[in-house]
Amino acid sequence: MVLFTTIWLGALGFFDDYIKLTQKHSSGLTSTSKLLFQCGLGLILGLMLYFHFNEINDGTKLVIPFFKEIRPDLGAFYVLMVMFSVVGMSNAVNITDGLDGLAIGCTVIAGLVFTLIAYIVGRVDFSSYLQVPYIAGTGELSILCSALVGAGLGFMWFNCFPAQTFMGDIGSLPLGGMLGLIAIIVKQELLLFFIGSIFIVEALSVLLQVSVFKISGKRVFMCAPLHHHFQFKGWPEPKITVRFLIIAAIMSLFSLITLKL
């Protein structure tokens, strides 16, 4: 299912990048067409998880950090949550990919955390000790997450400042979709707000900037997404990237701590 998501969003990113490269003065696929393509994937995944996967793992129940005994059943709204997670993270990583090494660095950190979580929830003993849902088969998912980390580190070697290679939509869209879906499968949907905090803040900064500008004609930031705001303030690009990665690492460590609380 994760590989299916990667191929689907990778194809979307490929066509978007291809149009940008081959057609002069083109910005690629329209935002509407990309969003429809992403939502189509989210709907398929949501229905698959709702009717098959979650019959086994009781997955329509939402695990709330710090309150593990409280697990509200989302019912059919679970499909919408899957769509929101996959589509939202796919676009959030795409938005974050504006500085050398930033998006892939945050992805590697998130991949490391999900490697541990997937291994934990795939073990009856560990999941029982930490009072998190046991999800059969996620041990294999931890291998995929490890591969993501390894590939990400290899790419980051050439993508760090000054970048020799760039991710493009063909990389950022599937990476975000993978993270959003993995969080759903391991039943740690809300922890994604901590693990992917940089991605979410970057996306929210764009949403806030556009919304406020349309209403009042004023800008909240000098430029959006947020990393460009700091560039306009005169911060060197490596400084912004490293500080964002430090924040991502701290928030990811905090997400692991919540498993024991």
How would residue 69 be classed by pLDDT, with cut points 50, 70 and 90?
confident
Binding residues for Mg(2+): 94, 169
Give the chain's domain count. Answer: 1
Domain enclosing residue 113, as ranges = 2-258
Can you give the pLDDT at residue 234?
A: 96
Can you give the pLDDT at residue 23?
A: 86
Sign of CA dihedral 42, 47, 52, 58: positive
Can you give the pLDDT at residue 54?
A: 58
Can you give the pLDDT at residue 225?
A: 96
For residues 101 and 241, what is the distance between their CA atoms, to the nearest angstrom? 7
Can you give the pLDDT at residue 261?
A: 84
Binding residues: 94, 169
As a whole number, mean pLDDT of residues 155-170 equals 95
pLDDT beyond 90 at 58? no
pLDDT in tens, 19-29: 989 987 778 89
Q: Which residue has the higher pLDDT, 20 or 200?
A: 200
